[in-house]
């Protein structure tokens, strides 16, 4: 995946590597969390964490360095989605939980005939999806 910074953010923010930009956003979000709740994000209750992330997503949480809403929506959330549905061998989607959740059987190359055979019907192998790592 190539990193393409949002066009409406200042270029000074992107004079960093993508990893540095992500870490800077996390630090800014944590600082905003401490200002609002008196503790970092990791210590928030699930209700407060949801409220905070919803506010960040909506652009209601401000930071002087850059837009937290653009950082969250255009960078962090996209990376989160990719990690959720990636092959577990890459480090996200641990134990294929997201594949199981949506009924994805895993490595598509092994399911060519199953696509036809089980079209419109539940696939029996969904409870144990196969990763690329299962075939190496």
Residue range 56-111, pLDDT digits in tens:
999 999 888 778 998 899 888 998 899 999 999 998 899 999 998 888 888 876 77
The reported pLDDT for the residue numbered 121 is: 84
CA distance 75 to 129: 28
The reported pLDDT for the residue numbered 5 is: 56
Across 35-47, average pLDDT: 96
Total domains present in the chain: 2
Q: Residues 59, 106: one domain?
A: no
Across 109-136, average pLDDT: 81
The model scores a pTM over 0.75: no
CA distances (Å), 117 to each of 6, 90, 103, 127, in order? 43, 30, 16, 18
CA distance 90 to 135: 14
Q: Residues 97, 77: one domain?
A: no
60 or 10: which leads in pLDDT: 60
Q: Which residue has the tokens 């590597």?
A: 17
| Residue in 67, 60, 63 with CA at minimum distance from that of residue 30 | 63
Q: How many Cα atoms within 13 Å fall on the side-chain side of residue 57?
A: 9
Instruction: With cut-offs at 50, 70 and 90, classify the pLDDT of residue 28.
Output: very high
**Residue 123, domain extent:** 93-136
106 phi and psi angles, rounded to 5 deg: 110, -150
Q: Residues 45, 73: one domain?
A: yes
Residues recorded for the chain: 136
Q: Residues 7, 53: one domain?
A: yes
Q: Residues 6, 73: one domain?
A: yes
């Amino acid at each position: 995946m190539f990193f393409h910074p949002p066009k409406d953010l200042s270029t000074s923010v992107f004079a960093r590597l993508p990893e540095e930009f992500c870490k800077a956003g996390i630090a800014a979000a944590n600082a905003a969390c401490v200002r609002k709740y008196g503790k970092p994000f990791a210590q928030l209750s699930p209700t407060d964490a949801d409220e905070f992330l919803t506010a960040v997503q909506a652009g209601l949480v401000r930071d002087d360095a850059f837009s937290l809403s653009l950082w969250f929506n255009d960078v962090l959330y996209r990376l989160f989605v990719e990690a959720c549905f990636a092959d577990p061998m890459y480090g996200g989607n641990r134990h294929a939980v997201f594949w199981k959740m949506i009924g994805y059987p895993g490595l598509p190359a092994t399911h060519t005939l199953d696509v036809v055979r089980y079209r419109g019907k539940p696939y029996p192998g969904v409870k144990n999806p196969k990763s690329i790592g299962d075939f190496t």
